[in-house]
Amino acid sequence: NAGVTQTPKFRILKIGQSMTLQCTQDMNHNYMYWYRQDPGMGLKLIYYSVGAGITDKGEVPNGYNVSRSTTEDFPLRLELAAPSQTSVYFCASSFSTRVGFETQYFGPGTRLLVL
C-alpha cells in the first residue's frame, strides 16, 4: 500500500516553462488536495477535489490548474512558471464525508525551484 505518491521529487524550471506535478493515491479516497509550503508560512491550499470530475479553488489558485479524471490521480499544472512559484508542493487525500473529519494523508512533496 503506497499511500500518496508524488513525482518528481525535485525540479528546476526556467521562468515561463510549464510542468505537471503528478499525484496518485491508492486508498480510494474521494477528496484530494494540493498545498504549497513556503518557508515559515505553513501550508496553503491551492486546489482541491471532492471527487472525479469535480475541482475547486483553494486559497492560492492563481498560476495553477488541476484536473481529476480518475479517483486516483490529481495532477497540478503550472503553465507559465514564475519565481514566486518556487516552493514545496504537497498532495494529500482523505475520505471525507458530510458528518465527520477524516485524516488527510500527505505525499512526500515535490520541491520546485523556478529560476
Partner 1 sequence: GQQLNQSPQSMFIQEGEDVSMNCTSSSIFNTWLWYKQDPGEGPVLLIALYKAGELTSNGRLTAQFGITRKDSFLNISASIPSDVGIYFCAGQLGYGNKLVFGAGTILRVKS
Give residues in contact with partner 1 (CB under 8 A): 4, 31, 33, 35, 40-45, 48, 50, 58-59, 90, 92, 96-101, 103-104, 106-109
Q: Specify the residue, 79 or 102, whose C-beta has the smaller distance to partner 1.
A: 102
Rounded least distance, CB 101 to partner 1, Å: 5
3-state secondary structure 1-44: CCCEEEECCEEEECCCCCEEEEEEECCCCCEEEEEEECCCCCEE
C-alpha neighbours within 13 Å on the C-beta side of residue 53: 0
Rounded least distance, CB 45 to partner 1, Å: 5
- Is residue 93 exposed (0-12), middle (13-18) or buried (19+ Cβ within 10 Å)? buried
φ/ψ of residue 33, rounded to 5: -140, 150
Rounded least distance, CB 71 to partner 1, Å: 17
Q: Specify the residue, 19 or 60, whose C-beta has the smaller distance to partner 1.
A: 60
Q: Specify the residue, 14 or 98, whose C-beta has the smaller distance to partner 1.
A: 98
Q: Specify the residue, 14 or 42, whose C-beta has the smaller distance to partner 1.
A: 42
